[in-house]
Amino acid sequence: MSETVFTNLTDLAAERLGGKVLSCSDDFFAEKENLIKPGRGIFIADKYTDRGKWMDGWESRRKRTAGHDWCIIELATSGKIHGVDIDTNHFLGNHPPHASIEAANIPLTENINWGAVQWTEILEKSPLQPGSQNLYEIQDRNIYTHLKLHIYPDGGVARLKVYGEVHKDWSTVDASELINLAAATNGAKSVLCNDMFFSHMENLIMPGRGVNMGDGWETKRNRTPNNKDWVIVRLAHRGTIEKILVDTCHFKGNYPDSCLIEGCDIDLKKESKLADDDKVEWKTILPQSKLSADHEHFFEDEIKDKGPFTHVRLSIFPDGGISRMRLWGRMR
């Protein structure tokens, strides 16, 4: 898998997905929590704190003793890691020359004995370029829950992105349990759309309500008569759809007039054909329905076909923004 391909996978460490920075050896200049925030980090030329220059990342002090600095991250979900981006954006005279990463699969308990954790190196000590996205493919396909980022000997890293596949043990889910099949934390993935000019299609299936208008899926203004925009989501598991939420949170002057949701049941090997209507049989789940501004729209009785489905296509008319889509159902 090439570097450009793995960056299309889910960032398992992302704060907005539920990732957490648990501890570090030192974050004197800039807090460890910045490592998993969205984007690449910003730079404000004249912003200082009482400890020195403010930086949007994790930055340790200049080490005057033996050793190196490290930081431990709890992934949002357990998963298989395909690649990492150790981003030193804006860290120019203060980036670490090298970094390595270890991983572990740790049962989620309140009190972890870190001294007993068996770490596995998944990225050997590797060079970092200043002010750059340092992309490394990971060959280890074991399932991990935690990472330990080592920097040599000290310095600043703006962001750590951990791209991979969410692992959910579906054998622990009862077939009768109602579950959000369109949740990124369960393994759902936005795979294709015709437009995401203002904000990314991945936002549609993130946890929680959108924090602002940028935290949703928004298309550009389209002047074509009878236009519709669409996004396709691979469900976390093949299943039936029994309850729907379409949330236009924060979208007030730019929400879609209406939406339509369709589903298909296909082999994942045929996913590349999803944009071709002639090769995929789409069935109507939710007929075209009116939407309103900044509102949670729930649909249950309106559902026409419950499936089972592997993928859904949300179409909006004529354009605009949707904050979140939830599809509760049962696995099949």
Quick one: pLDDT at residue 100? 98
| HSE-up (13 A, CA, CB side) for residue 327 | 36
All structural domains of the chain, each given as residue ranges with its CATH number in brackets, are 3-166 (2.60.120.260), 170-331 (2.60.120.260)
Q: What confidence score (pLDDT) does residue 3 get?
A: 52
Q: What is the pLDDT of residues 228-276, one digit of tens each?
A: 999 999 999 999 999 999 999 999 999 999 999 999 999 988 888 888 8
Between CA 227 and CA 235, with CA 232 as vertex, the angle to 5 degrees is: 155
**Cα angle vertex 206, ends 203, 210, to 5°?**
70
Q: Which residues contact 209 (CB under 8 A, 6 or more apart)?
A: 247, 249, 323, 324
pLDDT (0 to 100) of residue 129:
98
For the record, the structure tokens of 185 come out as 């934390």
pTM (2 d.p.)? 0.90
- d(CA 276, CA 274) in angstroms, rounded, equals 5
pLDDT of residue 199: 95
- For 111, the token pair is 């009190």
pLDDT given for residue 1 in this prediction: 44
Go through 21-45 and write b for each residue having 16 or more CB atoms within 10 A of its CB, e for each that does not: beebbebebbbbebbbbeebbebee
The position carrying tokens 């403010």 is: 54
Give the per-residue pLDDT at 112: 85
What's the pLDDT at 110?
66
Length of the chain counted residue by residue: 332
Per-residue pLDDT at 57: 96
Closest C-alpha to 254, from 226, 292, 224: 292
d(CA 323, CA 55): 30
Give the residue ranges of the chain where pLDDT is below 70: 1-4, 109-110
Query: Tokens 């704190």 appear where?
Result: 49
**pLDDT per residue over 134-180, tens digit each?**
999 999 999 999 999 999 999 999 999 999 999 999 999 998 999 99
